[in-house]
Amino acid sequence: MFSAAFLVQALLASAVFAFPSSKERLASRRARRSGDVARTRQSKPVNVVTSPQVAAIAGNASHPEFSSNWAGAVLVASTATYKSVTGTFTVPTPKSTGGSQEQCASAWVGIDGDTCDTAILQTGVDFCVSGSATSFDAWYEFFPADSFDFSGFSVSAGDSITVTATVISTTEGTLTIKNNSKGTTATKTVTSSSRLCETNAEWIVEDFEECEGNDCELVPFANFGTVEFTSASATTSSGTVTPAGATIFDIEQNSVLTSVSQSGSTVTVEFV
């Protein structure tokens, strides 16, 4: 017969495994994190590669910039200009590039993070693959804070998603995600002590970071196929603009992993 003390210990142990984390961002991914409650997820400002390894592509006028974490299009202004940014994309089915580790990528829109790197107002969807299993998380973030899940917001491969980041003030904004396929919408108003510059508006596929304390690293990058942002636009005090003329970023991590193009109100990001 088990003692009362043993039964209490067993119940406490089972409770630990039943509730491995109270963090919003980790809640929907706790099974894949094996109860690691110390790790958080964060999008970061663009990390520009100043000496691209692929010189032939580096000289291509349509791909003037490379980074280790961002692929997509970034509008840049010299003064506070951008008040909101929006785009629609279809959630891809990520595929593994090999190995046993979970691999991820993320599609999002945001304000700032390139020439202004002190704050980013952003929202999007992560897509991950581990073995044959895929998972998807809808999130919002006001960098330098960590990202958080839109609680209870369901996303599946093939869903049409519209994401919008709207500036209320330099320290406050609204982040909205709409699942056009499922007919659901979620909105969060967020604040920060770090101020937006409102000089960048972007449509990005990112290799985001996971952090343990101050120790952060890029997650293994998944083959996401193609993400196409359609109806991409940004709002200024003078009206609405498309990504035309935006700076194009491709991801380079020893080799170039993406190919980005822009036409009218469409930004296309391909894994290569």
Q: Which residues does the annotation mark as catalytic?
A: 206
DSSP string, 138-198: EEEEEETSPPEE-TT----TT-EEEEEEEEEETTEEEEEEEETTTTEEEEEEEE-SSPP--
Cβ pair 89, 108 in contact under 8 A:
no
How far apart are alpha carbons 231 and 215 in whole angstroms?
37
Cα 156 from Cα 195, distance rounded (Å): 34
Per the listing, tokens 């935006």 go with: 246
Please state whether beta strands 258-263 and 160-169 pair in parallel, antiparallel, or not at all (unpaired).
Answer: unpaired
Phi, psi of 10 (to 5 degrees): -65, -40
Helix, strand and coil content of the chain, in percent to the nearest 5, comes to 10, 50, 40
- H or E element: which one contains 95? none
Dist CA 85 CA 173 (whole Å): 12
The single-letter code of the amino acid at 95 is K
